[in-house]
Amino acid sequence: MHNGIQERLEAAKTVARMAGELLLQGPSGTLETTEKGVNDFVTVMDFKSEKLIKEYLHTRFPTDNFLGEEMGLEQHGNAGRWVIDPIDGTTNYIHGLPGYSISIAYEEVPWEPLLGVVYDPIIGEMYSGSVGNGSYCQDVPLTVSTVEEPHNTVIMISPPLRIRERLPDYMRVYEALCADSGEMRDYGSAALHLCYIAQGRADAFVEFGLGYHDIAAGTVILRESGGMITHLDMRKPGDFTSNIIATNALLHDWFVSRAQIT
């Protein structure tokens, strides 16, 4: 294990719970919101959650840096970088719906997260994982499903409402998967979707146009449970996987063959 990773993992779990308590106290149904982009909203609670997380972690690890969804890059030293999504699923939070989470990852090399924590404050479920040490929910080890038949799958698939030019690609992928697969779901939080695959509650997840903060923590948790994640769109490969297909590994080739944009 990299030096200090276990200490950082425990700190991330602690502050994720603190942020969750803050969000549960917030007036979610009556929040003033700002639209950052098409169907991309931010509330004062996003900023409060991110501020709480950063201040706690900075006190513990003063030379660590931060990449937050709302406040951007913050440099403090030559250590690694925390990647924070203070509310993944803000629209659900605004409307008082479940299906939002706090997502915190840490990396020493850009786009290669070493640990991830995803906390669902509504249910009280804490997902965590670090490279080489497995992933857990409430300290119970996670393992992906053993589903091998496409028609038995539960798929998380979210429409690209923030990047509507990708709707034709989405509809093609959706139709290709519908023909042979099982049930489709969308709970509104990419971080939770990845954790649900890691936990065996779902078998695959497809989405276009995600931010790094959406999936950094969930990627660690998924991979450490035996799952796989691949770039969906080979026309525009980037520094990180923004258009993704994630599976329980057993079905990965099948999903990629039907969903990948080439």
Percent of the chain at pLDDT above 70?
88
Taking only the tens place, the pLDDT of each residue in 95-151 is 889 999 999 999 999 989 999 999 999 999 999 999 999 999 999 999 999 999 999
Q: Which of 117, 141, 165 is the last residue of a domain?
A: 141
Which residue in 236, 22, 42, 15 sits closest to 106, CA to CA?
A: 15
* pLDDT bucket at 31, cuts 50 / 70 / 90: low
Residue 144's contacts (CB-CB under 8 Å, 6 or more residues apart) are 197, 198, 200, 203, 222, 225, 226, 227, 248, 249, 250
Please indicate, yes or no, whether residues 163 and 224 belong to a single structural domain of this protein.
yes
Q: Side by side, which strands form the sheet with 81-88?
A: 72-74, 65-68, 81-88, 101-109, 112-120, 125-130, 135-137, 140-141
pLDDT for the residue 40: 46
Angle 97-214-260 from CA coordinates, rounded to 5°: 110
Percent of the chain at pLDDT above 90?
67
For residues 230 and 190, give the distance between their C-alpha atoms in angstroms, rounded to a whole number.
15
The CATH number linked to 190 is 3.40.190.80
Average the pLDDT over 196-203 and give the result.
Answer: 98
The CATH number linked to 87 is 3.30.540.10
What is the DSSP secondary-structure string of 141-188? EP-------GGG-EEEEE--TTSGGGHHHHHHHHHHHHTT--EEE--S
Please indicate, yes or no, whether residues 49 and 136 belong to a single structural domain of this protein.
yes
Say which range, 61-65, 112-116, 192-196, 231-235, has the weakest mean pLDDT.
231-235
pLDDT for the residue 68: 86
Which residue in 53, 106, 140 sits closest to 219, CA to CA?
A: 106
Are the CB atoms for 219 and 207 separated by under 8 Å?
no
Taking only the tens place, the pLDDT of each residue in 160-197 is 887 888 889 899 999 999 988 899 999 999 999 999 99
User: Nearest 10 degrees: CA dihedral of 48, 52, 54, 57?
Assistant: -170
Residue 14's contacts (CB-CB under 8 Å, 6 or more residues apart) are 56
Please indicate, yes or no, whether residues 128 and 11 belong to a single structural domain of this protein.
yes
Q: Going by DSSP bridges, is the β-strand pair 101-109/112-120 parallel, antiparallel, or unpaired?
A: antiparallel
DSSP conformational letter for 236: S
Instruction: Determine the structural domain holding residue 66 and report its residue range.
Output: 5-141
DSSP conformational letter for 129: E
Per-residue pLDDT at 93 exceeds 60: yes
Please indicate, yes or no, whether residues 137 and 156 belong to a single structural domain of this protein.
no
Q: Which of 122, 141, 160 is the last residue of a domain?
A: 141
For residues 103 and 189, give the distance between their C-alpha atoms in angstroms, rounded to a whole number.
10
Please indicate, yes or no, whether residues 136 and 10 belong to a single structural domain of this protein.
yes
Please indicate, yes or no, whether residues 117 and 231 belong to a single structural domain of this protein.
no
Angle 91-243-120 from CA coordinates, rounded to 5°: 40
Q: Tokens 């200090």 belong to which residue? A: 4
Per-residue pLDDT at 213 exceeds 50: yes
